[in-house]
Each structure stands twice: as C-alpha cells, then as structure tokens.
Amino acid sequence: MRTEYTQTALQIIRSYDGPPVRIMEVCGTHTHEIFRLGIRQILPSQVDVISGPGCPVCVTPVGYIDEAVWLALEKGVTICTFGDLVRVPGSTLSLAGARSRGAHVEIVYSPLDAYDYARQHRDEEIVFLSVGFETTTPPSCLAVRNARRDSVTNFSLLTANKTMPRAYEAMKDSADAFLYPGHVCAVMGTGDCEAMVQQGVSGVVAGFTAKELMTAFAVILKKIQKGEPFFKNCYPRVVTREGSRTAKELMADVMEPCDAEWRGLGCIPQSGLQLRPAYAAWDARKKYGIPLIEGRANPACRCGDILQGKCKPPQCPLFGTVCTPEQPVGACMVSHEGACSAYYTYGGNIR
C-alpha cells in the first residue's frame, strides 16, 4: 500500500545528493518506528540518523534507580512503576533485583493506575516513579492533584520528569536537523521548536506512520539544501501551534522547572520538573528524606555517547556481549525504544 504521496517522499529521499546531514530524532517511538520500517536502509549514505535522548527510560540516571531501590528496601514502600524501569540497572541493584530481596514493586500503565492502587491499599505507602517528558507528565500531575483533592496521603511521586526544549539546546551541536517529537509537540505546541530557528537550529515535527515519517525526512532533505535554518510542522493533523492548554496549565500548577541529570549527558540546567512547594506532601524526596545518592554507572557503558551521536551501539564494548535486552547494562538496551535495543533487535542489515 505505498501511496503516491509516500512514493514522492521516497523519491526525494533516494535522490538526495547534497552534503552530509545528521538528523537527530528525540522520541523513543520514532526510534522504534524508524527501525521497524527500515528507513535507515533507504537513506542515502551521507544521511545519518542519530537516536537522541528521547526515551524517558534511557535518560533516567542511575542515581534515580538507587533512590527507588532505597525507598523500597529501606522504607518498605510499594513502588508503582512503568514496566521498563524495573530492569534498569542501578549502582548495585535494579528494581527487579530489589524485588528478589523482598521489595514490593507493582507494574502500572499510568500514574492514575498508581493513584487508584494507593486508594485501594490505604495501609501501604505508595511511591510512583514519575519519569517522562511532557507527554507523561500531565497524568502524573493529575494524580497528585487528585490526591490533594481526596486527601490521600499514602501516595507520592519520585520525580525525574524532564522537558524537551533544553535538551534540544544541549544537543544542537550533535545534529544538523531535529525530528521533533510529535507527541510532545501535541501537548506543548510548536513554540519551543520555532524558537530554535533563531539559534540556527533546524527541525520538523514528525508523526509516526510510514507516510508521516517519510514526509518529515523528505522535507528536511529538501529544505536543508537551501542553507537556511528552518522549521516545519509535518504533523499538522495532531500538532497545533498552541498545543494543549489544559495540559500545560495542569503542569504549571503542579510542577516547576529544576536542574536535571540526564543519563550520559550530565546535568542540564532547568531541564527537569519537580513538584511545587504546595504539593510537597506528595514529593517522595521530602516525605521520606531520601539521602543524597550519587549513582555509579558501569564505566564501560557508552549510552551517553550513543545519545549524542558520538558513536553507534555496536561500537560500545559491552553491546551484544555483556549487554543484551535480556541482561541490559545500559538504559538504552532496556527499553524497546532505546537505540541499543533497536540495533540489537533489528540487527542484521542495519548500517
């Protein structure tokens, strides 16, 4: 079912004969779809795709896992989390390891499920591991706001929420054009991406179907040849300039910017979100007095370089031998949206 539209995009991509281009996608779903569709195979050799820091699991620092393990083992709280985080290695233990030592870890699919669990288990202390970008942050905020409304006190968040705009800025020297994340832009609008043009940074907002992704790549390859920084919304059926006002207001009410550590990238000022003082009672760090934990990642792991496009997963000494999806060392191998996991899974004919 190759539509004519996709054919045209395909022709533009295949016939590109301009200068080398580095395109960075910063969305885990894009990473996965680009591999699944085999887009890398049809790109001309001078076009490189870098899987940037777009998977929330992959950018979650080791110290955060250590905090969760500490809460589970030292304070005996029930950890509610997205499943992907369970196998991310901490300094000494993953949550899966903590579970085998008696930690209570519940897998949930939404922060609101964690909140429901807390309401149904009032004799337990529940901490939800609140990771993610502007897409998963609003439901976390909603859960906390509901907890305040309902006076539910056995529920709190361990926040590691992150925002995208500072990451674009931090990564701008690693790429010639960004494939901006469609879901994040659906929430936040396109203002942050448009502002990047002033800094000389190009990019397009991309959707997730074959047609949408092909169009986005084709637009980048067309526009980049003009030598001017550009922005284009290639996902207009979902993304508007303004984004979701409701979600933005919710986030602004419950959370405030803070400095944040990104796994492999270090601290990016004002790139994180934490609960505002009015919600301190639902902030696990304040509630339990978590000590300052400095996480130690495996020094051989090159997840940080991979996220910046400085190397490809197979160039990491651990890739595919010590580090596999079944026994991951680095976070990029844990989540199926991580670059290492995608390389490993789709192996074979990837250049």
Q: Which residue ranges make up the site for another protein (CB under 8 A)? A: 1-2, 6, 10, 29, 32, 35-39, 41-42, 109-110, 113, 210, 214, 325-326, 336-337, 345-349
Q: Find the shortest distance in angstroms from Cβ 22 to another protein.
A: 20
220 in Cβ contact with 177 (< 8 Å): yes
Q: Find the shortest distance in angstroms from Cβ 173 to another protein.
A: 30
Tell me the helix, strand and coil percentages in the chain, rounded to 5.
45, 20, 35
User: Within a 13 Å sphere around the CA of 283, how many CA atoms are in the beta-carbon half?
Assistant: 17
Q: Which is nearer to another protein, 208 or 230 (CB)?
A: 208
- The rounded distance, in Å, linking the Cα atoms of 157 and 282 is 6
Q: Which is nearer to another protein, 82 or 231 (CB)?
A: 82
Q: Find the shortest distance in angstroms from Cβ 275 to another protein.
A: 25
Q: Find the shortest distance in angstroms from Cβ 158 to another protein.
A: 22
Q: Which is nearer to another protein, 131 or 284 (CB)?
A: 131
Q: Which residues pair with 47 in a beta bridge?
A: 21
149 Cβ neighbours under 8 A, 6+ residues apart: none
For residue 177, the SS3 value is: strand
Q: Which is nearer to another protein, 32 or 162 (CB)?
A: 32
Q: Which is nearer to another protein, 32 or 263 (CB)?
A: 32
- The rounded distance, in Å, linking the Cα atoms of 6 and 81 is 38
Q: Find the shortest distance in angstroms from Cβ 339 to another protein.
A: 15
Neighbours of 162 (CB within 10 A): 23
Q: Which residues pair with 274 in a beta bridge?
A: 256
